[in-house]
Structure 1
Amino acid sequence: MTSTPAYDWVAHHAMVSPNRAAWADIDPLSGSPGVASTWREAHERVGRAAAMLRDDFGVGRGDRVAMYSQNRVEFIEVQFACARLGAVFVPLNWRLTIHELDYIVSDASPTVLVADPELGDMAAELVERTNTPHLVVFSGDGAHPDRSANYDDGLAAADSTTLPVMPELTHDDPLTIMYTSGTTGRPKGAIITHGMSFWNSVNLAELHDLSRSMVNFCFLPLFHTGGLNCYTNPAAYFGGSTMVMRTFDPGRALELISDPERGITHFLGVPANYLFMGQHPDFASTDFSRLVSTAIGGAPAALPLLKMWESVGCPLIQAFGMTETSPLVLSISKEMAVEKAGSAGLPAMNTAIRIVGEDGVDVGVGEIGELWCKGPNITPGYWNNPEATAEAITDGWLHTGDAAQADADGYVSIVDRWKDMYISGGENVYPSEVESTLFDLEGIADVAVIGLPDDKWGEVGQAVVVKTDGVEIDETTIVNFCRERLATFKVPHSVRFVDELPRNATGKILKRELRDQ
């Protein structure tokens, strides 16, 4: 780790590019006008938010401030207000139950909880359950509980003559505690430092063409690393602008991408976002000509999906990252996106990787192992959880939990989650390979493959399928299709039809729920 100083990005751009756009709301919550700020205005609002947190609630260096909100510009403002105070920002997944959030908030122990009015009643209960001292609610239609402060009133009342200036922080100081999705157990609070945010911006710039002219379209949830750190925070580092969509809607997203006045150049989505946009009737008529970088991550992408977007002139830049890696680890260039389709690419410039077998030894070319990574973009550990930190990090190498293989050119493919792999008759089966095959079959709108216990084979596969409207398809057709294209041990032994697959807020399929069902 280094002692490199951390700097105030917003204050810098307010000085260098005061009249350039910083960020703006798209389709704000009813009852709220939404926020659109130049860098000068953003600097002023961030300063007032920091003053409110400091003067009204006693927030100082190292204190935590929790955010319980859907996407809106104020979400970003509070993050940078925390940075200006040396406080630590804790974004919360608003889709979790009160019981799940109780655990996270109690673990983080924030001084203030900042909330969306739509979530006001839940926020009030959460503050009560966790003994959080203060509740601040944004403007808009919804609940503004007793004993809560109004965010806009607090900004207006802040003393403009004593706005905070960032203290002397270093790259080692924590910026954010971001709790993992908890798909395999209780959430863990990954510490993200100022340095991690900086190095992630630098790593992304090379292959994703980030610059001060970029217009980032953020439709992933900001509580997730994909929304906040790809490309919202990097756009802020470079002085570009970000357009914030409250919740993802595929038709509305295509409309905004086509709008020349919006001028969208960059966005990151997970496979589900691209799948739903690609299935929308407006996909073929959308104008994608202004796009500079369309990146895909969060889960392995099926080849038919990549080909669908390539056909409209948008090669999807596959990338791999995690909350714990701030997040970029691997990425592919646009020039190689087609030639190396299916690969997550090469290590970012400032990141090292290994692919390690179960014996802890690096595997050979083409062999499958667990991906490990190391560098200045890697978390120093988990908040209040030294045991999880020790389990996840070995001599600075983070165990990603993802099964990967590298080709002779060093390009890495994420085969599947290491724990999603199942063993059938002694053979390893990686569900993403079977899923990619099934997406070639007409009539399958969405699919997930899971391993289920079997007395004879140990485990066997089950395909959980969402049918395309108006297309008849049955289990026999699906199984026979797989038999023609896959080794016998990879062919699902059964098929289950559902109306929709359970997903978390970022679109990842919750395979644990499918197995429990």
Structure 2
Amino acid sequence: MSIRYYDWIAHYGRRNPAKVALVDLGSGRRFSYGELNERVSRLAGHLRDALKVARGDRVAVLALNTTDTMEVQFACFRLGAIFLPLNNRLTVPELQFIVGDAAPRVMIHDDELAETALTVAGLCNVESALKFGPGGSYEAGIAAAKPIDKAEIVTLDDISTIMYTSGTTGLPKGAIITHGMTFWNCVNLGGPAYISPASVLLTVLPLFHTGGLNCYTNPVMHAGGTVLIMRVFDPGEALKLISDPARGINVFFGVPSIYQFMAQHPAFAASDFSRLVIGGVGGAPMPVPLLKVWEARGVALQQGYGMTETSPAVMVLDKEDAARKAGSSGKPVLHTEVRIVRPDGSDADIGELGELWVKGPNVTPGYWNRPDANKSSFTDGWLHTGDATRIDEDGFYYIVDRWKDMYISGGENVYPAEVESVLHQLPAVAEAAIIGIPNEQWGEVGMAIVAVKPGHTLAPAEIHAHCAANLAKFKCPRLIEFVDALPRNATGKIHKPTLRQQFSAPKATDVAEAAAS
């Protein structure tokens, strides 16, 4: 028997209607749970009655961060419709593939992205469009609609969301997210992140991404807390908001680059982090030197690991272990199973690298319209993550790197994240990435792409000497390329496919030769 999904916003609209639910920092709007419940109900009525959205229909959103996006999500949940958040950094051809694949009935957008949204909607024959903002058809629809009198009954097994992966290794795949996956993520993260009705979260990651939506926006709202949504991340403004006692922000989450940009901001040294109960970090390996910078300011960043396909939480490092187990993603969350698997399918030993497999109610049942991916991504219900992982003698897990980012030099496996962490120890390094470059003698050698902090200088020989003192010879990058900034995707992760394309025929400095000359 399937378990029914229950409406959080309706619950808190009855239980605590005056409590502030959402604050839109871009517009200054604030909504209590009572007001939010009314708006969600009216939006659901407009989608159902005026735009003919029914159970199972997809509703797309292309916008910068706004509280309106959360309203659309909850209205879809109330109708049994499927929420389709779109990456606002994609081009028309990229979005055309996703929208064509998911076939939404409605395209909802903001003014900044109207041209792109309407072009894609036209190309994909989307029936209706709504525009966010004052005077827009979205607000007009809410104002004119009658609240729905009865929500659609849906279960935890029903699809709530389709979230497309970044498409770094081919065409994007639409990960199916069920109501149960979202619920179990709220449960799995609630304890380790100390989420409660008293939680006040500053959301800076994009809401089209699982990090912005589920770390920890949905969990905080599931607990009846308050979420402040920043339209576009600004490190100085984020530090100002966290430091402001009137805001009361006590929960924060970011990818490593978010914390890096904040730590490099002039206001960092004087910022007040005393109210932060939790500062979570995930999405990419976190350089240990950066963890130490935040630790020195009294913030023990809580590392974690997850994927879009896993809701996303899989592992969390308790903040009490942050210092002594720096670099670890922690241990599995409550309602999740994990394995580290050798290429032959057997379980790896302690300390041995293998691929992380995940199983549990938080794992996707598959990909939208992709039976091929469903067949190759699962074994007996276990999701293959593609992440090289090891476990230590105390049971703590370490995500070493993506299998696809690993390269082989002279027969030895090299995991870029390990080398990147060493590069970040150099005070002049603002950011760095390692990729493998073809080499006749060694098969592949490492290239370091480095951005130097303003006002600093860094010579290739310095990088070589530092790596030689801290890494085995086969791990040391032979090639160095200096850039002003590294390319990143919409969530702030360094985009290595762009680097591989850009430097496939490098004109870089071979530091080994430079050191020898």
Q: Same fold (TM over 0.5)?
A: yes
Correspondence for 1:159 among 129, 146, 149: 146
Q: Which whole-Å CA distance do the structure 1 matches of 2:115 and 2:469 have between them? A: 54
Correspondence for 2:424 among 436, 439, 443: 439
Is 1:216 paired with 2:201? Answer: yes
Q: Which whole-Å CA distance do the structure 1 matches of 2:149 and 2:410 have between them? A: 63
For residues 365-376 of structure 1, the aligned pairs below 5 Å read 365-376=350-361
Is 1:404–1:413's contact at 8 Å kept on the other side of the alignment? yes
Correspondence for 2:413 among 428, 447, 469: 428
Which residue pairs with 2:508 in the alignment? none
C-alpha displacement of 1:468: 1.2
Is 1:304 paired with 2:289? Answer: yes
Is 2:26–2:66's contact at 8 Å kept on the other side of the alignment? no
Which residue pairs with 2:515 in the alignment? none
Is 2:202–2:228's contact at 8 Å kept on the other side of the alignment? yes
- CA-to-partner distance for each residue in 1:207-232, whole Å, 9 max, x for gaps? 11011110011000000000001111
Q: Which whole-Å CA distance do the structure 2 matches of 1:332 and 1:487 have between them? A: 28
Correspondence for 2:74 among 71, 74, 80: 80
Correspondence for 1:94 among 79, 88, 98: 88
Is 1:512 paired with 2:497? Answer: yes
Q: Which whole-Å CA distance do the structure 1 matches of 2:189 and 2:170 have between them? A: 30
| SS, match of residue 330 in structure 1 | strand
Which residue pairs with 1:121 in the alignment? 115
Is 1:44 paired with 2:38? Answer: yes
Structure 1 gap segments, 5+ residues each: 29-33
| SS, match of residue 65 in structure 1 | strand
C-alpha displacement of 1:268: 0.9
Q: Which whole-Å CA distance do the structure 1 matches of 2:419 and 2:283 have between them? A: 18
C-alpha displacement of 1:165: 2.6
Which residue pairs with 2:11 in the alignment? 12
Question: Which one-letter code corresponds to 2:57 in the other structure?
Answer: D
For residues 50-65 of structure 1, the aligned pairs below 5 Å read 50-65=44-59
Question: Which one-letter code corresponds to 1:306 in the other structure?
Answer: L
- CA-to-partner distance for each residue in 1:89-145, whole Å, 9 max, x for gaps? 0000010010000000000000000001111111111111110001100115xxx9x
Is 1:352–1:373's contact at 8 Å kept on the other side of the alignment? yes
C-alpha displacement of 1:45: 0.3
Correspondence for 1:323 among 296, 308, 314: 308
Q: Which whole-Å CA distance do the structure 2 matches of 1:9 and 1:336 have between them? A: 32
| SS, match of residue 234 in structure 1 | helix
For residues 238-249 of structure 1, the aligned pairs below 5 Å read 238-249=223-234
TM-score, length basis structure 1: 0.96
| SS, match of residue 369 in structure 2 | coil
- CA-to-partner distance for each residue in 1:18-45, whole Å, 9 max, x for gaps? 11111110123xxxxx531110000000
Percent identity of equivalent pairs:
54
Q: Which whole-Å CA distance do the structure 2 matches of 1:183 and 1:358 have between them? A: 23
- CA-to-partner distance for each residue in 1:473-501, whole Å, 9 max, x for gaps? 11111112111111000000110001110
Q: Which whole-Å CA distance do the structure 2 matches of 1:356 and 1:135 have between them? A: 46
Which residue pairs with 1:188 in the alignment? 173
| SS, match of residue 117 in structure 1 | coil
Which residue pairs with 1:408 in the alignment? 393
Question: Which one-letter code corresponds to 2:250 in the other structure?
Answer: T
Is 2:367–2:373's contact at 8 Å kept on the other side of the alignment? yes
Is 1:85–1:164's contact at 8 Å kept on the other side of the alignment? no
C-alpha displacement of 1:164: 4.4
Q: Which whole-Å CA distance do the structure 2 matches of 1:10 and 1:443 have between them? A: 48
Is 1:493 paired with 2:478? Answer: yes
C-alpha displacement of 1:166: 2.1
Question: Aligned in 2, Cα 1:434/1:447: closer, same or farther, shift over 3 Å?
Answer: same
Q: Which whole-Å CA distance do the structure 2 matches of 1:225 and 1:319 have between them? A: 14
- CA-to-partner distance for each residue in 1:433-458, whole Å, 9 max, x for gaps? 11100111121111000001111111
Question: Which one-letter code corresponds to 2:366 in the other structure?
Answer: G
Q: Which whole-Å CA distance do the structure 2 matches of 1:368 and 1:88 have between them? A: 38
TM-score, length basis structure 2: 0.96
Correspondence for 1:364 among 332, 335, 349: 349
Is 1:68 paired with 2:68? Answer: no
Which residue pairs with 1:332 in the alignment? 317
Is 1:150 paired with 2:137? Answer: yes
| SS, match of residue 118 in structure 1 | coil
**CA RMSD after TM alignment:** 1.0
Deviates more, 1:467-476 or 1:255-264: 467-476
| SS, match of residue 470 in structure 1 | coil
Question: Which one-letter code corresponds to 2:141 in the other structure?
Answer: G
Which residue pairs with 2:299 in the alignment? 314
